[in-house]
Chains A and B, each alone.
Chain A
Amino acid sequence: MKKILNIKYVLIGLGLSCFTVISCVDLEEEVFSQVTADNFFQTDEEFISALGAAYSSLGGLGNHSGLWSINELASDEIVISTKGGDWFDGGVLLQLHQHEFLPDNPFFQNSWNFLFGGINTCNRLIFSFEQLDNPNSAAFIGELRALRALFYYWALDAFGNVPLVTDFTSTESPGTTPRQEVYNFVLSELNEVIPLLPTAKDGTTYGRMTRWAALTIRMKLYLNAEVYVGTPQWALAAADAEEIINSGPYSLMPSYRDNFVINNAGSTENIFVYPYDKVFAGGFNWVMMTLHIASQSTFNLTQQPWNGYQTVEEFYNSYVDPEINPGVQGPVWKGLALEQSEGTIDGRLSNFLVGPQFRADGTRLEDPGVEPFDATGRNGDPDGPPITFMPYLNEIWPQGLRQAGARIAKYEFEMGGTNNMSNDFVIFRLSDVILSLAEARFRLGNTAEALALVNQIRDRAGNLDPFTTLTEENLLAERGREMYVEMTRRQDLIRFKKYGDAWWPFQGMNRPKRVHQPGSHLELFPIPEPQLLANPRLTQNPGYN
């Protein structure tokens, strides 16, 4: 049987090559035999090995300060409160959550570099493959065009009007391309390459662009078409979703949690992933980003976590509140989490680490630097030194409590783990497609079918009652619970016209209830200032000048 390289091993190989360029103690100058296009791209394995560089560009998704961070921190899911001397970082994190976007915020520059770094690598490989007189190259070029379409889809979603660059050899500085044209480009690229992409779901296509991954991008493009270009495309979104559901090789996992365990490569539901590896393909750092410094002792981690990312309390409450999320009632953690109270035991509460924390040996975890308690519970730690992750967030700044906020536990943490996680990062999965089909049908007026699809997701979640009616409100809430921290929430809030709402009280900050109106310029991030300074042909997004 022909051996085909799995992209995971290609990424591992790339990780190794970074640091082993010279790995001998006794060094002499040596010119190795040259690898050129003429003698390298001969077999499928060699093409796939080269593709690894393009896929490794996705490795920035799972860490701090990039595209995932700007999407999540600007939504109602996640916040990083300033905790005394920690996490102020010049105010850039507060700006993101409060929708005070400034072009010099380095998170925008990092996101821009992530996107255009990926686009540039795709362009370079497409250019290289096009020079070859090799019949095998066409399929790989199609795959790269689909991956480049993904980067451009994210770019048009976040920044809207971006340069459209497809020629690696071009040395001309591009101007800004309007969002409509970027949308047209992504759509046209996907339309052309979808028929060329593989349909199998196995080790040869794991972590690579398939027909189903590309269809998912197009489905999401159509789902948000009204926001992107002003014309809704619900029927087209539904058609792509139906094809993935009916013809694709995917099915919902019996357990929601199993999509995110350390060894999640066996998920029947994940359509497109980035396969991280703690040793060779690092960069998935949620374990560091969200856990308390002292949580090192809970999981016997090799490094101290950073105590940053927390869940917004209202969002967490959307799981346990029986009014919003009806289902089996039982003990859950709410508010200050001094004791358990009754609430809905949604099976997806595995998304959170909440309540009293313990060391690996079972003893109570304590914070020696605990904030002194005051009777209001707002300015001090209500249970003293023991660490209890409480859903309650006392304030965003300046004295956010160090134990405040449910922590992101969607991906299983490894006992004895490092700062890098080995779980594969889910970019697209079937559940999102089912809920997208539900929404498209709902928008087209077919509420009964939409309701059945939503209840399919609720049934799998566990312990939940089916909805008896479907409204915009409970559809958005269900998407929120299911897709928590999967980089869909900001987009969903914009599409449901809720992005401008103030989602938690901002005590002491005199925030108005509605921060901005639907259609506000804040629905796009600003073009990063360093880019504008380096290329005068670029123009800033409206509203940021």
Chain B
Amino acid sequence: MNKQKINQWLGILFIIVSCNTIEKGPSESDQIFFDFYLGMKQKDFFDHCTELNKQEIITQGPGGTTSVEHRIKDKFSSEVSVRFFPTFIDYKIFEMPVTYSFIAWAPWNRQFWAENLLEEVLEDYKKVYGDDFKLLNHPTQGKVYYKIDGIRRINLFVKDEQFVQAVFTDLKVEKRLKEEFEQNNKPEYNPN
């Protein structure tokens, strides 16, 4: 094989390898909301939060898994607080827990309890993520709606009287974590 042909083959090989290693952008089923997506790099998440904060779309939330807050004034029957903060694995978003609660919640304002809000959030989610949510009856959590698209699972349920909890999870990472956990916790073989 002459030198020119070798170079041609190397060129083709380079193109094939390059194509395979180009990082894919987020697919539709990776999306969460506000252009956050499962697998988003931690730094990109913070940069995007800074931008949304400048636009006064989000503010500092209380903390923990609710470090970011967004207020929705006119989508639901009354003003709603949405709080979220992702869990990162390998510096990428693995899971995004989100809580929803009516601003005017109180023990006596039953119309603002989470069981009512759950149905409103579900309707909204159906419009955004598709209407094929399934229902599961959980012994302690009650009604749990869930939906799986590609690697994304969405769970939606009443956390307590005040909060509706949604959780977006990357199933691929979850499966890997589960396998690693099982691998690390295998009982040692003992012939005796």
Contacts and interface: CB of A to CB of B under 8 A. Distances in A.
Contact of A120 (B101, B155, B161, B178): B161
Contacts of B108: 163, 165, 170-174, 535
Contacts of B167: 18-19, 21
A123 B107 contact: yes
Interface stretch (A111-119, A131-139, A353-361): A111-119
B95 interface: yes
A535 B104 CA distance: 9
For the side of the interface on B, what is the size category? Answer: 35 or more
Interface stretch (B21-29, B32-40, B115-123, B138-146): B138-146
Interface string B129-154: 00000111111110010101000010
Which of the listed residues A174, A285, A530 has the most CB atoms from chain B within 10 Å of its own CB? A530
A17 B140 contact: yes
B63 A34 contact: no
Interface string A21-33: 1110101011111
A64 B85 CA distance: 14
Contact of A23 (B62, B79, B110, B174): B174
Given A60-B62, A163-B108, A25 B97 contact: no
Contacts of B78: 534
A297 interface: no
B62 A29 contact: no
Nearest to A29: B136
Interface string B88-113: 00000001010001011111111010
Contacts of A534: 78, 104, 106, 109, 112
A285 B64 contact: yes
Given A53-B160, A109-B103, A117-B162, A27 B146 contact: yes
A540 B186 CA distance: 61
Contacts of A121: 160-161
Nearest to B151: A25
A282 B97 CA distance: 13
Which of the listed residues B67, B104, B146 has the most CB atoms from chain A within 10 Å of its own CB? B104
B84 interface: no
A25 B160 contact: no
Chain A interface, DSSP helix/strand/loop, else mixed: loop
A153 to B, nearest CB: 17
Given A25-B171, A29-B135, A124-B161, A63 B63 contact: yes
Contacts, number: 126
Contacts of A288: 63, 67
A119 B175 CA distance: 39
Contact of A21 (B63, B79, B101, B141): B141
A419 B64 contact: yes
A419 B63 contact: yes
Interface string A262-291: 000000000000000000001101001100
B49 to A, nearest CB: 11
Nearest to B146: A22
Contact of A89 (B60, B140, B157): B60
B159 interface: yes
Given A19-B95, A29-B134, A533-B104, A306 B157 contact: no
A120 B107 contact: yes
B144 A21 contact: yes
A6 to B, nearest CB: 20
A65 B62 contact: yes
B57 to A, nearest CB: 14
A500 interface: no
Given A116-B107, A534-B104, A420 B64 contact: yes
For the side of the interface on A, what is the size category? Answer: 35 or more
B84 to A, nearest CB: 13
A119 B107 CA distance: 8
Nearest to B136: A29
Nearest to A120: B107
Interface in B165-183: 165, 167, 169, 171, 174-175, 178
A173 B108 CA distance: 5
Interface string A132-170: 000000000000000000000000000000010100101
B64 A283 contact: yes
Contacts of B63: 62-64, 283, 285, 288-289, 419-420
A18 B140 contact: no
Nearest to A110: B62
Which of the listed residues A22, A289, A419, A533 has the most CB atoms from chain B within 10 Å of its own CB? A22
A66 interface: yes
Contact of B59 (A66, A89, A123, A285): A89
B82 to A, nearest CB: 13
Interface string B55-90: 000011111110100000000001100000000000
A304 interface: yes
A18 B60 contact: no
A305 to B, nearest CB: 11
Nearest to B87: A19
Contacts of B175: 25
B108 to A, nearest CB: 5
Contacts of B169: 19
Interface in A16-58: 17-19, 21-23, 25, 27, 29-35, 53
B161 A171 contact: no
B110 A171 contact: yes
A37 B148 CA distance: 33
A117 B113 CA distance: 11
Given A19-B95, A165-B107, A34 B139 contact: yes
A447 interface: no
B46 interface: yes
A531 interface: yes
Contacts of A25: 171, 174-175, 178
The 4 closest A-B pairs by CB, nearest first: A63-B63, A285-B63, A534-B104, A283-B64
Given A117-B162, A171-B108, 16 more contacts: A17-B140, A18-B97, A22-B144, A22-B146, A22-B153, A29-B136, A35-B139, A89-B60, A113-B101, A116-B107, A168-B107, A288-B63, A531-B106, A534-B78, A534-B104, A535-B108
25 contacts: A21-B138, A22-B144, A27-B146, A27-B148, A31-B136, A32-B138, A32-B139, A59-B64, A63-B63, A64-B61, A65-B62, A66-B62, A109-B103, A113-B162, A117-B161, A117-B162, A120-B107, A163-B106, A163-B108, A165-B108, A282-B65, A285-B67, A419-B67, A420-B64, A534-B106
Interface of A: 17-19, 21-23, 25, 27, 29-35, 53, 59-60, 62-66, 89, 109-110, 112-113, 116-117, 119-121, 123-124, 163, 165, 168, 170-174, 282-283, 285, 288-289, 304, 306, 308, 419-420, 530-531, 533-535
